[in-house]
Amino acid sequence: MLREKLINYKIILASGSPRRQKFFSDLNLDFEIRLKEVEEVFPPELQASEITDFLAILKADAFEGALAPGEILVTSDTIVWHKGKALGKPKDYEDAFRILESLSGETHEVYTSVCFKTSENFDVINDVTKVSFNVLTNDEIRYYLDQCRPYDKAGAYGIQEWIGLIAVRKVEGSYANVMGLPVDKVYAYLSNLK
């Protein structure tokens, strides 16, 4: 359905995330993957969605001057926001353990921003989902880290993995957003393109 609406556009997904790529495939979109290395550093005064907006735009800016007419570049960034701090991807096992220990028995927010860039302009959308965790034992955290190695995931977890089955008590908002893309909002944005 969406594929026909976008017949005059070429969608470029600038993400190495297998989950985001799968979402685009599941939407039955024709898309190309183009990647550029970007140092994901943001000003320390930014909060919550300001961080993900900034990083999604930063990733899009790496393609400045590289887009042809009719191409729509899609970049995205996700963070876990907990107790006034952004939790990105863990540095190592110990960092991942600390992050999951801090989320245990608590509610956190997952923010994702998506930037749509053309040769002429750009738009940014974002979404937030609240996720409540059950209390996790140290053994459960260790088991998850040993089995799933979630070092490429913001907040050191993937909701679609084992930990999502046993730890997630409640989700308020988009489940897909927690996986890294507010698919309903992306679909709505692309559907409304002229």
Q: Which domains does the chain have, with CATH numbers?
A: 2-191 (3.90.950.10)
Each residue's pLDDT expressed in tens, for the chain with a length of 194 residues: 888 889 999 999 999 999 999 999 999 999 999 999 999 999 999 999 999 999 999 999 999 999 999 999 999 999 999 999 999 899 999 999 999 999 999 999 999 999 999 999 999 999 999 999 999 999 999 999 999 999 989 999 999 999 999 999 999 999 999 999 999 999 999 999 97
22: phi then psi, degrees, rounded to nearest 5: -65, -40
120 DSSP assignment:
S
H-only helix segments in the chain: 2-5, 18-26, 49-61, 93-103, 138-148, 162-167, 175-178, 183-191
* Whole-number Å distance between alpha carbons of 77 and 49: 10
On the 0-12 / 13-18 / 19+ scale of CB atoms within 10 A, 55 is: buried
Amino acid, single-letter form, for residue 112: T
Q: Tell me if 104 sits within 8 A of 133, measured CB to CB.
A: yes
* Whole-number Å distance between alpha carbons of 93 and 155: 12
Q: Tell me if 126 sits within 8 A of 174, measured CB to CB.
A: no
Question: Which residues are catalytic, by number?
Answer: 77
DSSP code per residue over 165-179:
HHHEEEEES-HHHHT
* Whole-number Å distance between alpha carbons of 121 and 128: 24
This prediction's pTM = 0.94
* Whole-number Å distance between alpha carbons of 142 and 146: 6
CA 152 to chain centre: 11
